[in-house]
A and B are shown apart, each in its own frame.
Chain A
Amino acid sequence: MTTTSEVKRLYVKGKKRKVLVILSALIVLLITIVISISLGSGSPRFMEAARVILSKIFPFLEINPGDTNTQNIILQFRLPRIVLAIIAGAGLAVSGASMQGVLRNPLVSPFILGISAAAGFGAALVIVLGIGVFGPYTGYIKVASAFIFSMLAMLMVYSIARLRGITSETVILAGVAVGYLFSAMLSIIQSIASQYAATEIVFWLLGSLTKVTWEAVLIILPLVLVAITLMIRHSWDMNVMGLGEETATSLGVNSRRVLIVCITLGTLATASIISFTGIIGFIGLVSPHIARMIIGSDHRFLLPFSIVLGAILLLCSDTLARLVLMHSELPVGIVTSLIGVPFFIYLLLSRRRLFWH
């Protein structure tokens, strides 16, 4: 027979194990970063990269950073991509984990409010009208347009859901409907676009980190950080909401408020990421599941672990996307699915317990 103290001991032991798992994942992330900065189709390897970075951090050491091209390869291409892959992976994963939590549905991804189609529509609109209409700022306008239409989709979903009361079902169904609306409008644009614009739209929809710059990092980072912080603060509420709305209410959790806060934050973070990178969908759906299989459903651990896993998954995928074709690149969305799916299926088959509540 287990006594109360025995239960407590088991709980503390489990808690320690979970912290250990998260710490190990962080170490894996660090190793991935080192590998990623050392590899690429350009010649700089670990030593060259280290020299460039150290010379920037400690200018007084007078380390020779190498020629301009070497410095640019590390500082303008590899480094911003690595940083963005980590932020984007983390942001998408935490959004997915908390949305799945508050909506109590395993099929939910950060795109549940239809924002992937809306962002795609916004970007496609600018791609089609192009430089002839928007001039020198076309690139920025494309990002802004993708973001604005994502927000519009979110507002539409809320307005529709509010008419019937904001619950998990109304939000999910309204999201699906709005998503279909925007993908229909996206299809209209694609079918009337010129050959070039149409190809560019397809590339955008596949998602890629090839064109990221430090500017993108600076804009996305604060949004993702805010989302992560606030979501983690709500992780206990998410645990309670998993017990059902009535139980949650009786325990003093305002389910509706938590639901709105988490979905809004997740959508904001996701929209800011995909406005720059295009649709990178799989991470947000699957990182939380992988995390749940390894660490369980306690959101206080699930959210941080999803964040680290999402970062690792996207960084690995992007590094592979840079490497597999030698001098050319693959859209990262393809690689993400190609390496994420087998891993996911393996976990699904190898674990015996039921993962979803």
Chain B
Amino acid sequence: MKKRTVVLSVAIIVLVIAALAYATLVYVPSETAPEKETITVVDVLGVAVEVEVPVERIISLASDLSEIICALGSEDKIVGRDATSIFPPSILEKPVVGESSYNPNLEVLLELNPDLVVSDSMLTSETRQMIEGAGVPVFISTTGELDPRSTVTAINLTGQLVTKFGLILGEEEKANEIVDYMESYEDLVNERIKNLTPSEKPLVYYEWYTPWYSCVTASVTHSGGINIAANETVSFPTLSPEYVVEKNPDVIIRMISSSDHDVADFQTMREEILNRPGLSGVKAVKEGRVYIYDYAVRTGIRIPAGLLYWAKWFHPSLFEDIDPAAIHKELIQRFFGIELEGVFAYP
């Protein structure tokens, strides 16, 4: 009995000391490096982040941001990543500091001695404070749908972000090249859809990653379609099935979310929609205009590919000469210097 109490007390004391030691390590600011130029960049949450440039050691907690850093030729500056950052493949050699930005392992993260941590908005404000408390600036951004009601185009949003990363990494020239490249395709799409009347634009049911789950996203509009969920009060609504049928959409697009998939999974998903009870009378199903895409083509610098896929699905005759898959390949070849493999859209 007595012995047990002693052991227990010792265990508790050791635990408390360990916790305190950890907290001290995390909270004590590290020594600041000597003279460097400091710039201020505003992140997606509106926080002005002071960064000493050029950054040499960067940790990325979001796959799209990792891709942008690599496209800017700065892969060697990445010293840590989250498990979702898997492209380009060479990035897999970098140490992982967490499954996602939601709950990174701060000990591992700080031990890598980063100058800057970049993350998507899943990083909690508490985690952000702890990292900043250790003297490491945190820059939060996203190329996905942070605010699906925003009318700023995805390419515009990503372009601004690439420019900021150009400044942070001292790669302004490369950043401009990427922005120009992306905008050229946005201009191309705008040019071709600008004279369409509303009646010439297809009604689109955009299904996210589970049946009837949709989004008010303006991305559909940017590719020349009309989103049947555009006027919903909820940004990510579970649409009423009978509303979808009543609207009778011309095109159905559906995202595939699992990261590990082959063409058979795209086919499975498409078959499910084509055979879903109740959809048999819907135009998109009757005419076979049901398309599946990988979320990757709607994030980061690959957005031109997503934009073109959608535009071609909405207006096949206007974009007959465009091969989105080829442009996706070209984009990857040009900015990552590697050959793209895998399926990203079907059919």
Contacts and interface: CB of A to CB of B under 8 A. Distances in A.
A69 B281 contact: yes
A195 B145 CA distance: 13
A213 B277 contact: yes
B233 A326 contact: yes
A329 B238 contact: yes
B265 A203 contact: no
Interface stretch (B106-114, B195-203, B205-213, B298-306): B205-213
Nearest to B279: A72
Contacts of A328: 232-234, 237-240, 243
Nearest to A197: B257
Contacts of A184: none
B245 interface: yes
Contacts of B238: 203, 208, 210, 328-329, 331
Contacts of B279: 72
Interface string A317-355: 000001001111101000000000000000000000000
B84 interface: yes
A327 B261 contact: no
Interface string B329-341: 0000000000000
Interface in B113-142: 122
A322 B240 CA distance: 7
Contacts of A77: 241-242, 245, 278
A147 B319 CA distance: 48
B278 A76 contact: yes
Interface string A187-215: 00001101111011001000010110110
Contacts of B103: 191
Contact of A68 (B210, B277, B281): B281
A136 B272 contact: yes
B242 A40 contact: yes
Interface in B215-259: 229, 232-234, 237-243, 245-246, 248, 256-259
Interface in A206-228: 208, 210-211, 213-214
A329 B278 contact: no
A329 B265 contact: no
Interface string B75-94: 00000000010000000000
Interface in A123-145: 130-132, 135-136, 139
Contacts of B234: 325, 328
Contacts of A14: none
Given A131-B258, A211-B212, A327-B237, A72 B281 contact: yes
Interface string A23-47: 0000000000000000011111000
B193 interface: no
A289 interface: no
B158 interface: no
A331 B240 CA distance: 11
Contacts of B277: 72, 76, 213-214
Nearest to A43: B246
B245 A72 contact: yes
Nearest to A208: B238
B246 A42 contact: yes
Interface string B252-278: 000011111100110011011000011
A306 to B, nearest CB: 30
A40 B241 CA distance: 10
Given A68-B281, A73-B278, A195 B242 contact: no
Closest 6 CB pairs of A and B: A68-B281, A76-B278, A42-B242, A328-B237, A196-B257, A41-B243
8 contacts: A40-B242, A42-B242, A69-B245, A73-B278, A131-B268, A136-B271, A191-B102, A327-B237
Given A131-B256, A191-B102, 14 more contacts: A42-B242, A69-B246, A71-B281, A72-B278, A76-B277, A77-B241, A130-B258, A135-B264, A194-B84, A194-B257, A200-B209, A208-B238, A328-B243, A329-B238
